[in-house]
Amino acid sequence: MGEPLHIFLSDVHLGINDDSKGRREALFLDFLRNLPEETAGLYLLGDIFDFWVEYRDVVPRSSIRVLGELAALSDRGVKIYYFSGNHDYWLTDYLRDEIGMEVIKEPLIVREIAGRRVCMGHGDGLGCRNPFVRLLFKAIRNRWLIRILKFFHPWLIFRWAINWSSSSRNQSNTSKYLFKGKDSDLYKYLCKYGEGKAIDCYILGHVHTEMEMEVDSGGTLYLLGDWAEGASSLNLSGTYIGFGACPNISK
């Protein structure tokens, strides 16, 4: 075996309404089944599901094959970290207890991985100045609002969430995910956040744009792509960091 490998990905959006043939799920399953033996950490940086919400006795019925593959990876010793995104924030203890994942709800965390100080998270809402988006960011994460909504029958919440996801996607266009580089609110936020923290790299999703660029306050920013066209991942080891599918996986 080679040196330990750490793999980052986001925005698979399993269950999305434009994937009626299950192409994304099949692609993601193939990806998980072919992860190298050297894989030590799998970092799922949000929006793996297009919608996910848990009740005490109810969880979504979809993607059971994906959950099975993740459980198998956990059983073989791969550490799996699940970062809540804006589409799958409402998870509680199911993935932790049944699969062994570490669930992380902080917008950003900094950890040392393969000798680097890595700042990572989903990336939604960071530095955003749009008042509607900021309000939505707070509402999704408001624990009292979440408790109130869970008083409603799961069928109602699931139907609402599916319709909301579909309508928001239909109303958007490709400019929604156009990353403006140094002019973006996200980049400006990270520059300020990283001051004095000696961060080597930032790894974020949400923008649906695979990109690498230097941050003025230090470190390199890696933005993960989505899975609309193919597998998108970032691989980090002691001597290597970069985009690309794992061995035996074609993009």
Query: What residue ranges do the domains of the chain occupy?
Result: 5-243
pLDDT for res 45 = 97
What's the fold here for domain 5-243?
Purple Acid Phosphatase; chain A, domain 2 (3.60.21)
pLDDT for res 249 = 39
pLDDT for res 63 = 82
Instruction: Please give the Cα distance from 45 to 83 (Å, whole number).
Output: 5
pLDDT for res 251 = 35
- Between CA 108 and CA 117, with CA 113 as vertex, the angle to 5 degrees is 60
pLDDT for res 134 = 72
Weakly modelled stretches of the chain, pLDDT under 50: 170-175, 247-251
pLDDT for res 9 = 97
Q: How many CA atoms lie within 13 A of 86 on its CB side?
A: 18
Instruction: Please give the Cα distance from 238 to 120 (Å, whole number).
Output: 17
**Selection from 106, 64, 101 nearest residue 89 by Cα:** 106
Instruction: Please give the Cα distance from 100 to 71 (Å, whole number).
Output: 7
CB atoms inside a 10 Å sphere around CB 127: 15
pLDDT for res 39 = 96
